[in-house]
Amino acid sequence: QKEVEQNSGPLSVPEGAIASLNCTYSDRGSQSFFWYRQYSGKSPELIMFIYSNGDKEDGRFTAQLNKASQYVSLLIRDSQPSDSATYLCAVKSSASKIIFGSGTRLSIRP
């Protein structure tokens, strides 16, 4: 089992709709959780982090964390073509290193 798992996609969402990206992790001792966006040929850039159960909202983005289910998600409201990218889930394990998932490719169709 991979430490951090994501559906590779591609996930295709119409412009203006909500995109939902999911991630599961295996280490129950994981402390903090991150979502990064990576455009093709570029480095990852941080969108949000979350460490408490529940929802955290920042503009059009909402991160959701459920530690009991070992599940993290990212919702993108009012999806824009510029949101088309690969979204990487990252988890800080109990060993303090940060492990990335393989990423989900998101495509926003006009």
Partner 1 sequence: GAGVSQTPSNKVTEKGKYVELRCDPISGHTALYWYRQSLGQGPEFLIYFQGTGAADDSGLPNDRFFAVRPEGSVSTLKIQRTERGDSAVYLCASSLRPSGRAVSTDTQYFGPGTRLTVL
Name the residues that contact partner 1, by CB under 8 A: 4, 6, 8, 31-32, 34, 42-46, 49, 51, 88, 90, 92, 95-103
Residue 97 in tokens: 């290193």
Q: How many residues does the chain have?
A: 110
Other CB atoms closer than 10 Å to residue 49's CB: what's the count? 15
Residue placing its CB nearer to partner 1 in the complex, 28 or 110: 28
Kindly state the smallest distance separating residue 93's Cβ from partner 1, in Å.
10
Residue 46 in tokens: 């941080």
C-alpha–C-alpha distance, residues 68 and 57, integer Å: 20
Kindly state the smallest distance separating residue 58's Cβ from partner 1, in Å.
13
Kindly state the smallest distance separating residue 21's Cβ from partner 1, in Å.
13
Kindly state the smallest distance separating residue 78's Cβ from partner 1, in Å.
25
Residue placing its CB nearer to partner 1 in the complex, 49 or 71: 49
User: How are the residues of the chain apportioned to helix, strand and coil, as percentages rounded to the nearest 5?
Assistant: 5, 55, 45
Residue placing its CB nearer to partner 1 in the complex, 17 or 46: 46
